[in-house]
Structure 1
Amino acid sequence: MTDGPELRTSSPNLASYRIRRERELGSLYATARALTALGELDAVLDSIVREAHELIGTDFTYLSLLGADGQLTLKASEGTISPSFNQARVPAGTGVGGRVIATGAPAWVSNYLQTQDVPHDRTFDDLVVPEGMVALLGVPLLVGQEVIGVLFAADRTERPFEHDEVALLSAFADHAAIALNNARLYDESRSALKQLQSAFLTIERQVAMMERAQSVHESLTRVVLKGGDANEIARLLVDHLRGAVTVFDRAGAVIAQCSPDAGLIDPLTSPPSRRTSPDAVEQARQSGRWATTTDGTGLWHSAAAIQAGDTHLGALLLTRGEEPAPVDIRMLERAAQIMGLLILKETAVAEAEERVSGELLTELLVSGPPVTPNQRARAHARGVDITQLNVIVVAKSATRSASQIGRRLHAMSSEWRGLAGEHLGRATLLATAADPSQLAETVHSRLRRELGSEVRVVAERVTDENWGRAFELAGKCCDLMQSLGVTDRGSTAERYAMFALLFDTERGEDLDRFLVDSLGPLLTYDRRRSTQLVATLSAYFGNVGNLTRTAGALHIHMNTLLKRLDRISSVLGEGWRSPDRALQLQVALRLHDLRSQIDAQP
């Protein structure tokens, strides 16, 4: 018996993700339509199992409601073959349903008749055999914190249920429970209307609240179906709940805010007090449902957790000057469930798009020219013209992973009609840009702000569609920057290219040893005697050994220059002007100059 193992989800292709999301939204729309129609309870039950069967894709699904005696009674099914199974009743405390009722959490078994983890009821087991049920998953139907029934998905072959199946059916069950509860409430209200004519005004108000809730739910559903975002949900709730609404992500950061007076608020520029998460949010997160608190200013804070199964995705917060009514809380919870489905959809689409973009990027870097028609067509479908991709950008950080940086590069890639992803442990962007230097600085600035940490960014122009060669050079330069002590800069590869080709960037101690062996004696001499022999040698090579131009560049007399050159010879030896020795010194001087510029920066 298990609540579902923590398994890694496979990487399906984009088509699989689209099919899955279309199926999910179709089920959501069908359930919302049943709620909107306020149909008979049996019709709603049939709609729930039918759409759950289509969504999950198991052999059959069924729904059992909890009676006052604690027994679960089957009310609707889809895909069953045995007529007797549809009469199933499970005594309290037995079977998978008993475990779900007791814990209020999903549960599943890979082989129901063989498992010993749950108490068995002989009568129910006799019904299982002709039906052929083997693997069974049950998720609770929750209204507030009360379990009103269990939604089951079953297969006639032994198998485990994946974590994403459990999470998806749980999210659907949360949504279905609302539709089911509303149908029950509607039936109860209709019955009460017939019995209590004297209480007509009270019932009329109840119907009005239901219609209001119905209207909100229809609006929330349209937001999801048309691909809306958190800002639209916040704005819609403000209109109906007459209070300020804040949307938090799973990390507790504000992603949307809206108030009746100010409208939408930018979380990045709002005062710190507006970004503070009240106690209600934390209480809702811990309970997985909702919580209401008050503060010293007389404001009421009501928060509803955004959940997908057992996964916390964030919270919705309503703040206003009066205590919310139960219908307001239900409306907030309903919006949180819709927000959860929206987040699941957006996450799946974004991950699929990132993966496809990253795969195409890797193909181009590995295969190189010529570009195949298939690659060109896949790029064109994403608005990318491969022939225009002329700059490669590599980014690394000591405190952020390549995948974290890669996701942000992917979010930026459309601005430069490019592709982004992770390749050989480096976050990479293949872009269309006229100025590689400006692109490097812009990307660095954006990453620095979004990551909140130091990051190195190197851009290199691509020639002859040889993206792999440009990537290799940019990567080496990015590593060399770290060896030189550069931790936070955007630059082109041109500045570091020659040195990146000369040194193994994974052996930074060799670079230090090279500088010490080449310039160590002169640096020590300058430091101890406050002379300028290193600067003199750099100017000498910079002016190709021309003494007149060297003296002019240093603003010193010729005799002074000659004395300094003699002193250099005494420190380094007479052979420092030989071609091999002179080349070594010039490379060392250039590296020393780069480090000096870095050290001089504030």
Structure 2
Amino acid sequence: MTTHTESSPTTDEPVDVLGSLIQLLADEAPAAEFDALERRARATTGTERALLVRAVDHARQVAGVLAHRERRERGMQALYETARDLTSLRDVDEVLTAIVHRARRLLATDSTYIALVDEQTGDAYMRVTSGTITPAIRSVRQAPGCGIGGGVIQTGQPVATSNYLADPRIERDPAVAKAVGADGIISIAGAPMKLGHRVVGTLLAADRQERVFDQPEIAVLSSLAQHAAIVIENARLYDQVRGTTQNLRDVNDQLSARRQALELAGSAHERLLPLALTRADFDQLRTTLGEILGGVATLDIDGHGGAADGHAAVVPLRAGGHTYGRLLLDRPEPVTGAETRVLEGAAQTATLLLLMRHQASIAEQDLRRELVEDLLAAHEPDWESLQRRADRFEVLATDMLHVVVVLSARTPVPALLDAAGSVTANQGGLAGEHARQVVALLPVSDGGAGDTAREVAARLSHAIGTPVTAGGAGPAIGARAIRDLHQAAARCHTLLMSLGRDGHGAAIDELGVVGKVLWAVSPEQLHRMVARELGPLLDYDAKRSSSLLATVRSYFEQGQNPPAAARTLAIHINTLYQRLERIDQVLGGRHWREPPGAVDMQLALHVHGLMPARRLP
């Protein structure tokens, strides 16, 4: 813009004044230069003087109209840019900062700022500033009715002052007044940010000199304030929409997860239910569960599979307050809630299979026991029917050797019977109860009844935790022959108990002559017989540490042949004769060497040899 200095005191020509006037209009000169040109016009002479003064006045009015139009154009441009910002969905603080910058530039003020209403307290607090100097002004907070901002918020109308600290109309907060003074602010104008009838904040413009804000400036400030209010509302609506959208996403995710859980549960139900209905084995259950959940499933039936650590999931197998084991799943990924429910359903299926298997086992054991009872009953069974029943359980094969073992223990018969049923079933045999004794029928391929009796006694002793006595007989082929073995096995068992060999196993043929000639004899009878025949020798040997009993035993084992007995005992023949004479003296004669005394002596020796050392009389 060209600066026009006032002309010399000499009188200007009218044409010069008009030329300067046109130049001022063209240069958009300030009002002061129009005042100087008016003085020049008044200094002219002649009839043109009044015309020149009116021309300068009209030119001043035209300049004012042009300046007002320019301000309006700048304001419209600022509002347009602000409206464009509103549609850009930028950050709220970014848009509000752009508004205060435009207001400051448009109104040519030193600083501008936006204060918002605290919804909790109603106070006005600074949100964004432009052109402020001190930090205190940026943290100003004042109650409704205090200061320019508080007044605007309280009344909902624009408020302006040319001197904030001196204006008597303003109620000032001391802390705010101090911050205003520290920032050098003198004049302030504020316009409300309104949403309907509700004031949400205020847009303020401030100068560090006295200034009267005219109505057009207040209008521009109000327009920008309204745009700022729209920004705040848009931000609230945007947050609301975003929150609603997120809620919808969350609900959709939940519905999707629930749908997937239902699909997983439905698929698992369709695949697990047939396993229960068809009584599938546990391997099928583990394989199916591994395919459904993507991992390795393990069934720990007895619950002895170690700690649960290291497994993706562990679910107990429970029914009726009793735990039968655990179902374990191993895979790298953690198990979801829906998958846990599938595991729990699979655990119920496994428990059901386990219970059905247990019930089937009980029923099968009862049928197997009935088979033994019918085989050994007082009246002969229907042999064809019995064999068909045996074939159903794949026992008592007609081409296999079997032994019969009679069992007893110092425990209730049902407990021994249950243990015997398990042991014999694992060996392809049977166990049942007859005459209040447990009877086992076992197939054999190698060894005889004695080895089988000892093996069964050892296994059952370990199973029930108490010694088991087993008397055996056999082997034989065919149900009829097996039935006939029972009496011999029962006699063997009775003799073992009478001999004090409880907790041992033996076959009837291993008892020698005792097993052939003795039947229902009590332990007391056997001990009296041994004491009668061998008692004096046992007492003599015990007192003198001699070997008379061993000499008698060797004498009979060698067919009452003294030289052979001497060789067996590794002694001289004369020593043997001396011992025989000593035995005659101890026993009161030679009757023990001669019939029938020799028979009684040999039977006593045999019984004594079968008795355990701890039970010697």
Please name the residue that 1:443 is paired with: 456
C-alpha change, 1:498 and 1:304, in structure 2 (3 Å) is: same
Please name the residue that 2:300 is paired with: 247
Displacement after TM superposition at 1:354 (Å): 1.7
Displacement after TM superposition at 1:415 (Å): 6.4
Please give the alpha-carbon distance, in whole angstroms, between the structure 1 residues aligned to 2:422 and 2:348.
26
Q: How does 1:121-520 map to 2 (within 5 A)?
A: 199-230=251-282, 233=285, 240=293, 245=298, 247-249=300-302, 254=304, 257=305, 274=306, 302-307=314-319, 310=320, 312=322, 314-316=324-326, 318=328, 325-366=336-377, 372-384=383-395, 387-388=398-399, 390-411=401-422, 413=424, 418-434=429-445, 435-437=447-449, 438-461=451-474, 465-496=480-511, 498-500=513-515, 507-520=522-535
Please give the alpha-carbon distance, in whole angstroms, between the structure 2 residues aligned to 1:584 and 1:506.
16
Q: Secondary structure at the match of 1:579?
A: coil
Instruction: Give 2:507's aligned amino acid.
Output: T
Q: Secondary structure at the match of 2:377?
A: helix
RMSD: 3.8
Please give the alpha-carbon distance, in whole angstroms, between the structure 1 residues aligned to 2:399 and 2:417.
21
Please give the alpha-carbon distance, in whole angstroms, between the structure 2 residues aligned to 1:238 and 1:497.
61
Please name the residue that 1:69 is paired with: none
Please give the alpha-carbon distance, in whole angstroms, between the structure 2 residues aligned to 1:299 and 1:461.
52
Native 8 Å contact 2:501 2:612 kept in 1: no
Q: Secondary structure at the match of 2:611?
A: helix
Displacement after TM superposition at 1:300 (Å): 8.4
Displacement after TM superposition at 1:571 (Å): 1.1
CA deviations over 1:320-344 (Å, ceiling 9, x no partner): 7998644344334323322332133
CA deviations over 1:27-53 (Å, ceiling 9, x no partner): xxxxxxxxxxxxxxxxxxxxxxxxxxx
Q: Which has the larger radius of gyration?
A: 2
Please give the alpha-carbon distance, in whole angstroms, between the structure 2 residues aligned to 1:313 and 1:501.
52
C-alpha change, 1:598 and 1:457, in structure 2 (3 Å) is: farther
Q: Secondary structure at the match of 1:366?
A: coil
Please give the alpha-carbon distance, in whole angstroms, between the structure 1 residues aligned to 2:338 and 2:401.
57
Displacement after TM superposition at 1:353 (Å): 1.7
Q: Percent identity?
A: 28
Displacement after TM superposition at 1:525 (Å): 0.9
Instruction: Give 1:459's aligned amino acid.
Output: G
Displacement after TM superposition at 1:536 (Å): 0.5
C-alpha change, 1:526 and 1:369, in structure 2 (3 Å) is: same
Structure 2 unpaired stretches of 5+:
1-246
What TM-score do the two structures reach when normalised by structure 1? 0.52
Instruction: Give 1:436's aligned amino acid.
Output: G
Please name the residue that 1:548 is paired with: 563
Please give the alpha-carbon distance, in whole angstroms, between the structure 2 residues aligned to 1:343 and 1:391.
32
CA deviations over 1:252-286 (Å, ceiling 9, x no partner): x53xx5xxxxxxxxxxxxxxxx2x6x8xxxxxxxx
C-alpha change, 1:201 and 1:313, in structure 2 (3 Å) is: closer
Please name the residue that 1:59 is paired with: none
Instruction: Give 1:556's aligned amino acid.
Output: I
Please give the alpha-carbon distance, in whole angstroms, between the structure 2 residues aligned to 1:588 and 1:499.
9
Native 8 Å contact 1:392 1:428 kept in 2: no
Please give the alpha-carbon distance, in whole angstroms, between the structure 1 residues aligned to 2:530 and 2:341.
70
Please name the residue that 1:570 is paired with: 585
- Displaced runs of 4 or more, over 6 A: 195-198, 297-301, 319-323, 597-600
Instruction: Give 1:374's aligned amino acid.
Output: S
Instruction: Give 1:375's aligned amino acid.
Output: L
Please give the alpha-carbon distance, in whole angstroms, between the structure 2 residues aligned to 1:198 and 1:418.
64
Please give the alpha-carbon distance, in whole angstroms, between the structure 1 residues aligned to 2:388 and 2:547.
61
C-alpha change, 1:548 and 1:478, in structure 2 (3 Å) is: same
C-alpha change, 1:330 and 1:498, in structure 2 (3 Å) is: farther
C-alpha change, 1:377 and 1:498, in structure 2 (3 Å) is: same
Please give the alpha-carbon distance, in whole angstroms, between the structure 2 residues aligned to 1:381 and 1:397.
28
C-alpha change, 1:224 and 1:488, in structure 2 (3 Å) is: farther
Displacement after TM superposition at 1:543 (Å): 1.4
Displacement after TM superposition at 1:350 (Å): 1.5
Native 8 Å contact 2:314 2:328 kept in 1: yes
Q: How does 1:42-191 map to 2 (within 5 A)?
A: none
C-alpha change, 1:469 and 1:219, in structure 2 (3 Å) is: same
Instruction: Give 1:352's aligned amino acid.
Output: A
Match of 1:583 among 599, 602, 609: 599
Displacement after TM superposition at 1:490 (Å): 3.7
Q: Secondary structure at the match of 1:512?
A: helix
More moved, 384-393 vs 199-208:
384-393
Displacement after TM superposition at 1:352 (Å): 1.9
Please name the residue that 1:63 is paired with: none
CA deviations over 1:371-414 (Å, ceiling 9, x no partner): 53222332233334564464333253535444344344444556
Please name the residue that 2:575 is paired with: 560
Displacement after TM superposition at 1:563 (Å): 0.9
Native 8 Å contact 2:372 2:431 kept in 1: yes
Please name the residue that 2:608 is paired with: 592
Please give the alpha-carbon distance, in whole angstroms, between the structure 2 residues aligned to 1:582 and 1:350.
56
CA deviations over 1:103-132 (Å, ceiling 9, x no partner): xxxxxxxxxxxxxxxxxxxxxxxxxxxxxx
More moved, 484-493 vs 551-560:
484-493
Displacement after TM superposition at 1:248 (Å): 4.3
Please give the alpha-carbon distance, in whole angstroms, between the structure 1 residues aligned to 2:613 and 2:352.
52
More contact order relative to length (CA 8 Å, sep ≥ 6): 1
CA deviations over 1:1-36 (Å, ceiling 9, x no partner): xxxxxxxxxxxxxxxxxxxxxxxxxxxxxxxxxxxx
Displacement after TM superposition at 1:468 (Å): 4.0
Please give the alpha-carbon distance, in whole angstroms, between the structure 1 residues aligned to 2:610 and 2:316.
55
C-alpha change, 1:241 and 1:582, in structure 2 (3 Å) is: farther
Native 8 Å contact 1:316 1:332 kept in 2: no
Q: How many residues align?
A: 363
Instruction: Give 1:592's aligned amino acid.
Output: H
Please name the residue that 2:155 is paired with: none
Native 8 Å contact 1:213 1:327 kept in 2: yes
C-alpha change, 1:568 and 1:236, in structure 2 (3 Å) is: farther
Instruction: Give 1:455's aligned amino acid.
Output: V
Native 8 Å contact 1:391 1:436 kept in 2: no
Q: Secondary structure at the match of 2:444?
A: coil
C-alpha change, 1:241 and 1:454, in structure 2 (3 Å) is: farther
CA deviations over 1:75-108 (Å, ceiling 9, x no partner): xxxxxxxxxxxxxxxxxxxxxxxxxxxxxxxxxx
Please give the alpha-carbon distance, in whole angstroms, between the structure 2 residues aligned to 1:547 and 1:497.
24
Q: Secondary structure at the match of 2:571?
A: coil
Native 8 Å contact 2:508 2:515 kept in 1: no
C-alpha change, 1:538 and 1:218, in structure 2 (3 Å) is: farther
Q: Secondary structure at the match of 1:540?
A: helix
Please give the alpha-carbon distance, in whole angstroms, between the structure 2 residues aligned to 1:327 and 1:511.
73
